Amino acid sequence: NGVDYLRAHGVEVEPRDGAPGARAFDVYMACYEQGLMVRQTGDTIALCPPLIVSEAQIDELITGVGDAITATD
């Protein structure tokens, strides 16, 4: 069984003073290093899982993005 309704969602991160987009880029890179496919646009991390995805894969994505956000300052 896959997840029924998770097509595209985003997480807006708090920008660094005087450096819009920099923190989100760091989150994007941390996700990339974990093998997670996300997109960064400005201060938003976009999550767009494939059409066929398991709950375990969604959990991995959400956990990984959360870890990446926590790791950035």
pLDDT one-digit tens code per residue, 8-64: 688 999 999 999 999 999 999 999 999 999 999 999 999 878 778 888 998 999 999
Q: What angle in degrees, to the nearest 10, is found between the helix axes of 22-33 and 55-71?
A: 130
Tokens found for residue 65: 């993005």
Q: What pLDDT is attached to residue 53?
A: 84
Q: Report the predicted TM-score, pTM, of the whole model to 2 decimal places.
A: 0.83
CB burial of 46-62 (b: ≥16 within 10 Å; e: otherwise) equals: ebebeeeeeeeeeeebe
pLDDT one-digit tens code per residue, 31-45: 999 999 999 999 999
